[in-house]
Structure 1
Amino acid sequence: MGIIEWLLEGDVVIQHLTNKYLLDRPFNHHNEGYIARYLDLYDAVHQEWGGSIYSNKWISSTYTLLELKYMEVHPDNASYQDATKKVLNGLWTNHGRISKTRYQDMCMSAMLLSLVCYGKISAVRINEIVDYILAHQMDDGGWNCAWDSVHNSSTVGSVHTTISVLEALADYKHYGYNYRLNEIEQQVTGGQEYLLNRELFKSRQTSEAIHPDMICFHYPCRWKYDCFRALEYFAHVDYPYDDRMQEALDLVKTALKKGYINRGKTYPGRVHFPLESGPKGRFNTYRGLLILRNYDNKAYQEVIETDFRYE
């Protein structure tokens, strides 16, 4: 069986992503499959999932909405719209100031920006979030949630925060927002270089992986970084191949040699329901193929033309 055929035997969400991003053909999931299961768990009375807008990981509204966004729920869906507006109202108040000494967490602010832009929501506070992000880029080009930490402040970027910000700013541009767009594009270049200068996963001091998790596939990614999340971001913004991607791309090719990529490590916390069972991960396999299709089409063609055994 070919790897594309195997993907197309998966949930309707996987079928949609495979058709749209690997096969270039239309496919409407009609908010079915995994998406329908998430929507069925929505608390319409309180306009949220998991009893909270953020803190109840990973079943809160924020993290459920991030999964729905990745699965490409129809953005005009009433549950998506209402829950996102409640998250915006809950997480962004007083121009982002949450106490006398601190502002809203930068990762949370970026994830919030992604969610509202996907829903094409119009609110003055979106401009405030953009102002906040642009005001706090580090000198190395990255962003860091600890920029204003009272006890553990930092003046250097974090890969976790930086990828969230870059994804958010990509969504901001993609969905037609234009406030301070020229400045955004300049800062995005700095953020991209911040990741590429680390070859997507390396410490600048040791040239080794920052952490073993940086070279492991994870789905869902939550707020955390790995080099494959970075490659997927670069693919979605049509960033041209760069030699500094190569070691991470080699890891993708190696992972796909067996015809699938593992489900990967999961992060501790509650989930609404398991997305996949067994060692094989269709989400991660799709992600790996998307990356290869964009950056090593020869390797991509070899993989999709190979017959594998799926048991």
Structure 2
Amino acid sequence: MGIEDVHAWLRDSDPALRWQAERDLVGEPAEIWEATRARIGTEGFGARLLALQDADGQWAGGAFFPAGFDFATIEQTGQPWMATTWTLNSLREWGLDPAVLKGTADLIAQNSRWEYDDLPYWGGEVDCCINAWTLANGLWLGADVTGIADWFVEHQLADGGWNCEWVEGSKRSSFHSTLNSLKGLLAYDIATGGTPATRAVRRSGEEYLLQRGLFRRLSTGEPVGPWIDHFGYPFRWRYNVLNAADYFRQAAVFDGVRPDPRMSDAISLIRAARQADGTWLQAGRPPGQVWFEEDVPAGEPSKWLTLYATRVLNWWSAS
């Protein structure tokens, strides 16, 4: 496919994807993509998830896991992706107008508690990734999550990143935890302007990844893991260079800076995965129960991955 064919292919999609292609790839005027974006709440993926919301404001009756989940089965079944946090993540990332969920923040505050120590939902808990998503979702829905932003300042590790295993004594940052933490902090800075402290820790976290070229060990220069170019949508909590590069694209646009040249090898990995027809293949999503599939099976051309990768490469090339 040529560029126009790829664009047409992406536009023949759910509104959650289509509006982003119209805005970021095709360059449609605002009245076009905004009209498409407004349809998220009434049709397709967004409407399906909204219809599954419980009367108490949650999804699947739980904060991070469905109510009654048997944790003894997680190694066999995988993480279920149906509870409140995962559903809010999807709706927010797809671009749903938060006004559609008016009152949800209050309902969650009243009815949802973390599975960890029965902590109140909008106060966060001890996991970096969970706190990052809660920070972003709370800002989106209008909840008071200032304390979570401060939590990231207090829990940054000495090497500049974060690790969800800090409660187990880990002193080394994780690529996965650091990227997810950065996403939450960027959402905070975009929504509020941030504070000197949150802006400083975000810069340090970005430097942690950039010093490693987004995928290398600082000690040896070798790839940090086989998952660095395993491109699967939805990303969930997992790190790969496409997920990271898209974060740096958003951060650079917000901060008004050019792409950092230390990302060049990671960009090459993304470019190398492009098929001859201009698409990227689905590598497979993490296992676990879902409400419904949001993308194609492994091995097939993925509209979501093609959107993300094309947008990243366009940003990189334009600069």
Q: Please indicate, yes or no, whether the TM-score normalized by the shorter chain is above 0.5.
A: yes
**Residue of structure 1 equivalent to 2:8:** 5
**Kindly, what percent of the aligned residue pairs are identical?**
27
Sort the Cα spacing of 1:94 and 1:50 in 2 relative to 1 into closer, same or farther, 3 A: closer
Counterparts of 2:121 and 2:12 in 1: how far apart (Å)?
Answer: 48
Equivalent residues of 1:48, 1:83 under 8 A apart: no
Q: Give the length in aligned residue pairs.
A: 284
1:169 is the counterpart of 2:179? no
**Residue of structure 2 equivalent to 1:22:** 25
Q: CA deviation at 1:5?
A: 1.3
Equivalent residues of 1:84, 1:116 under 8 A apart: no
SS, match of residue 90 in structure 1: coil
Match of 2:161 among 128, 133, 142: 142
Q: Which amino acid aligns with 1:117?
A: L
Q: Which amino acid aligns with 2:301?
A: K
Equivalent residues of 1:201, 1:209 under 8 A apart: yes
Counterparts of 1:59 and 1:95 in 2: how far apart (Å)?
Answer: 18
Q: Which amino acid aligns with 2:98?
A: P
1:262 is the counterpart of 2:278? no
Q: CA deviation at 1:271?
A: 0.8
Sort the Cα spacing of 1:41 and 1:233 in 2 relative to 1 into closer, same or farther, 3 A: same
Equivalent residues of 1:201, 1:215 under 8 A apart: no
Q: CA deviation at 1:18?
A: 0.6
Counterparts of 2:53 and 2:60 in 1: how far apart (Å)?
Answer: 8
**Residue of structure 1 equivalent to 2:262:** 244
Sort the Cα spacing of 1:80 and 1:122 in 2 relative to 1 into closer, same or farther, 3 A: closer
- Within 5 Å, give how 1:190-201 maps onto structure 2: 190-201=204-215
Counterparts of 2:182 and 2:228 in 1: how far apart (Å)?
Answer: 17
Q: CA deviation at 1:220?
A: 1.1
**Residue of structure 1 equivalent to 2:151:** 132
Sort the Cα spacing of 1:90 and 1:195 in 2 relative to 1 into closer, same or farther, 3 A: same
Match of 2:312 among 286, 291, 311: 291
Counterparts of 2:178 and 2:107 in 1: how far apart (Å)?
Answer: 22
**Residue of structure 2 equivalent to 1:113:** 135
- TM-score (ref. length: structure 1): 0.84
- TM-score (ref. length: structure 2): 0.82
**Residue of structure 2 equivalent to 1:301:** none
Counterparts of 2:311 and 2:140 in 1: how far apart (Å)?
Answer: 21
Q: Which has the higher contact order (CA 8 A, sep 6+)?
A: 1
Q: CA deviation at 1:116?
A: 0.7
Query: What runs of 5+ residues in structure 1 fail to find an aligned partner?
Result: 98-102, 299-311
Deviations 1:112-163 (A, max 9, x none): 00111122x142xx222122110011111101112222xxx11111111111
- Within 5 Å, give how 1:36-51 maps onto structure 2: 36-43=47-54, 45-51=55-61
Match of 2:173 among 151, 154, 157: 157
1:90 is the counterpart of 2:113? yes
**Residue of structure 2 equivalent to 1:225:** 239
Counterparts of 2:111 and 2:275 in 1: how far apart (Å)?
Answer: 43
Q: CA deviation at 1:170?
A: 0.8
Counterparts of 2:184 and 2:20 in 1: how far apart (Å)?
Answer: 20
Let me know the Cα RMSD of the aligned residues.
2.4
Sort the Cα spacing of 1:35 and 1:272 in 2 relative to 1 into closer, same or farther, 3 A: same
Query: What runs of 5+ residues in structure 2 fail to find an aligned partner?
Result: 67-79
Deviations 1:161-187 (A, max 9, x none): 111111111111112354xx1111111
Q: Which amino acid aligns with 1:175?
A: A
Q: Which amino acid aligns with 2:97?
A: H
Equivalent residues of 2:122, 2:134 under 8 A apart: no
